[in-house]
Each structure stands twice: as structure tokens, then as C-alpha cells.
Chain A
Amino acid sequence: MKLTVNGDTLTLDGTTIADLVTQLNLAGRRLAVEVNRDIVPKSQHDDFTLNDGDVVEIVHAIGGG
């Protein structure tokens, strides 16, 4: 399926958020994920099924003041 992830178009081979995170080599990282502007808690990443056209945001902490 085709997704928009952090503004870029991406083809996901699997179906869940966990699949997406793994495909992006981000497994095990401290992240927060939004799908279509709703936060999906970490505890649901394994089960949350994405749909074609979903807009996903993945964020993390960086240096800031």
C-alpha cells in the first residue's frame, strides 16, 4: 500500500505500524507515531492496521532550547 510518511510517499510491504517501523529500520527506537493526525500509542503498534493513503508522522526527540 502507498502511505505518506513524514511528507514523503512510501510503499509499505506489510500492514501494521510495527511493519512500517521495521521497514524503516527504526525498530527499538524511542518514537511517537500519528496516523491521520491521531496518536497511536506504542502498545498498539503491533496491531494497528494501516490503510492505503494514510498519512503517518513519526517523531523523535532532538536537541532544542
Chain B
Amino acid sequence: MWIIEVLGFGQQGWGGLLIAGALMTLCVTIVALLLGAVLGTMVAWAKLSGNRVLSALGNTYTTVFRGVPELLIIYLIYFGGSGAVTAIGRYLGYEGFLGLPSFAAGALAVGIISGAYQAEVYRGAFLAIPKGELEAAEAIGMHRGLRFRRIIAPQVLRFAIPGIGNVWQLSLKDSALVSVTGLADLMRTSQVAAGSTRQYFLFFIAGGCLYLVLTSLSDRLFNRAERRANRSMPSSLGHA
């Protein structure tokens, strides 16, 4: 009975807070994934540009943000960023500590890391487009923008879906590290609930289950998208 009470939605229950935490985790991850998509596209483009300076910059980005621990990046952005904001505040005459909003800092940090992984996914997807199809687009008189919009972007997306699904799962779990900034995400909420009720097993298992719900639901979504995108592939013969 007491389990239902502490996990429930009543006065004593942590259920509502846990669900809110899960939604917060989902929000941080979605914002981070979108930010990472923008950064990743730019970095992939830089690496594919053929320009030596640009591709060196792109390589540096992916090497650094895939090679350094996620937690360090989050500390760097949250505390480093807060330090910078505080310094600016002092310059403007405000005394005392100014924190970066923990949601923004967390989404930014996870987004930057996600961008490094997504860049590699997009680059691989671009290279998977048969060169002849790009040539056919040129030969029919498509200008650069049209080729990108009609031929390149749809195919990059199609080839990128499995890789993006992977990055999504990584980002979802990375977002747990954002709890160090005090953001009330699923990780942080489970921790607080466990601490204040002393039911460590119960709440960490409940938190873990909610993470699994999020990942398995999103997994299903990505699988469906992948099937849809692969309608035109040879392997879908017979199911078309």
C-alpha cells in the first residue's frame, strides 16, 4: 500500500513530480537534438566543403566534443557561463552571483555534444548518396539550391534516420547529467524523492523505468520513420 502512496499522485505521492521530471528530460533532449541538428549540419558541411580551413575547424569540433566527457562540457558551460555572466553583471554594477538558467545551459551543453555526433551521421549520409544522382540533377539544369532541397536533403534525411535515432538515445541519457545544475529533470527528481523518503531502491528503479519508457517509445517512433523512409529501397521489394 505504501508504495502506491509514495509513487501516487496524492498529497504524499511523488508521481506527479516524477512525470514532470520525465517531461523536463524530454524537453531538454528535444531542444538539444534540434540545436545539435543545426550545429551538426553546419559542421558536416564544413567538413565536406573541401576548404582546408573549414574542414580543419569541423574536424576540431567533432574531435573535441566527442572526445571530452559530457559532464565536463556541462560544468564548463554552466559554471563557466555563469562566471562570465557574473563578471558582466559586476561590470554593470550588480554584486553577487548570477547563474545561467540551468535549462538553457543544459540544453546547450547536450546540444553541442549531440551536434558533434550528428555531424558525423549527416556526413556519412551525404556520402551514401550515389554520385550519379547528383550528376543527373546537374545535367537537368538544377541550380545548387534546388539540388540541395530536392535531391540532397531528402536523401540525407533518409540515410541519417538510424544514426539520428542512436544520437537521440545518447542525448536522452546525457541529459541526466544536467541534473548537476539543479534542473528538476527525471534524474534529479528521482534523487530528491529517494533522498527525502529514504526509499532509494524504489525511486531509482521508478526513474529507470521512466527512462526506459521514454527510450523504447522513441525507438518505436524512429523505427516507423525508418520503415517509411525506406519504401524506395531495394530491400522493401514486396512490402511496397
A binds B: no
What is the interface of chain A, defined by CB distance below 8 A to chain B? Answer: none
